Structure 1
Amino acid sequence: MKIVLIGFRATGKTSVGKELARRLGLPFLDLDEYIVNKVGKSITEIVEEKGWPYFRELEKEALYEMGQRDNLVLALGGGSVMHTDEMDLIKANSSLIWLKAQPQVILLRLEQDEKSCSFRPSLTNKSLEEEVACILAQREPLYQRYADLIIETDHLNTEEVVAKIIEFLRQAGVI
């Protein structure tokens, strides 16, 4: 059993993933943290030194590795869905849950998150509001393509989101 959380930055993938993994008795892995630990540098350092294309190659390799694993809860980086071959591999043997939030909620969460600047470098060099709108427009069709379940996280806490995922997994016969 592999449960994969997808969605934009600040939609709750890591928080929900940790709690879901705990409740299911599975290991949890955050793909961005996996890359950071593997390379020994923050995402900001990687992007500043070698650019976004290099980070995306690291992400693609890590996705491929995760496609080979089983029995875990995996939180993907927001842009992971752009790697369609690797995502198709992951989709073939996973339950994919899209954690979705409205742009204004994402903005509020990013502004309140102290690691936003250090861990989440700008993708476009636009204002945060323009960036969120632009990137969401590009990625939402991909999130939709891969999602087995969509959960709006705007007004839900971590426990409520986890409960919805567990109910879905039960109904689908996964657990």
Structure 2
Amino acid sequence: MRPEIISQLLGCIWRIVPVMNIYLIGYRCTGKTTVGKLLSQKLSWPILDSDIELVKEQRRPISEIVEKEGWNSFRSIEKEIIRKLCCLNHHVIATGGGAVLDPENVGIMRTTGKVIWLKALPETIARRMANDKSTENNRPALTDKGIFDEIKETLNFRNPIYEGAMDFSIDTDWMTIEEICNTIQARMKM
């Protein structure tokens, strides 16, 4: 059976069978992947990262996709990855920071699980990005501004979108990964 037919069938199934995933949304370096890994261990649920899945499927880094094909093409590919991941059940899914820019992504995530916004101050994000060796290859620039100005500008634009997409949020600035996971479990009564 062709992959697109399987995807369409799975898309129909999630409308019939209740699905429960945990989606971690938020800006770059707010802890989505790191929190997701520990949370998946605590829940005994698999963890998937939409950016990692996208890179595996495309067999090239995000920076190359954006450089050669542009952000619109990347977002289109990301949308298909999100759609596939939303067909799964009992998974922790760390999304790319811009996945919520597409209202259809938000709709399908809200229908198939709980959406948790991991937040951080611009200063915290900048510090984490500076310490993250994968930032350069996996996180292409979103604007032509410096890192801190880009973070502030992008958060000003995205924060209302994150807020509209979430079931609840957690400020990650002053919490350990363990505390964040415990808070998620308590809020979801798991």
- Shorter-chain TM-score tier: over 0.9
CA deviation map 1:16-74 (0-9, x unaligned): 00110111011100000000000000111111121111111101111122222211000
1:42 to 57, 61, 73: 61
The root-mean-square deviation of aligned C-alpha atoms, in Å, is 0.9
Name the residue aligned to 2:183.
Answer: 164
Which residue matches 2:16?
Answer: none
Query: What is the CA–CA distance in structure 1 between the aligned matches of 2:89 and 2:143, rounded to whole Å?
Result: 34
User: How many pairs are equivalent?
Assistant: 171
Name 2:154's counterpart in structure 1: 135
Unaligned runs of 5+ in 2: 1-19
Aligned match of 2:124: 105
Asked whether the equivalents of residues 67 and 86 of structure 1 are also in contact (C-alpha less than 8 Å), the reply is no
For 2:69 and 2:181, locate their aligned partners in 1 and report how far apart those are by CA, in whole Å: 36
Paired position in structure 2 for 1:30? 49
TM-score norm. by structure 1 comes to 0.95
Which consecutive residues of structure 1, in runs of 5 or more, have no partner in the other structure? Answer: none
Question: Normalising to structure 2: TM-score of the pair?
Answer: 0.87
Residue type at the aligned position of 1:22: Q
Q: Partner amino acid for 2:148?
A: E
- Counterpart of 1:64? 83
SS of 1:32 mapped into structure 2: helix
What letter corresponds to residue 146 of structure 1 in structure 2? A
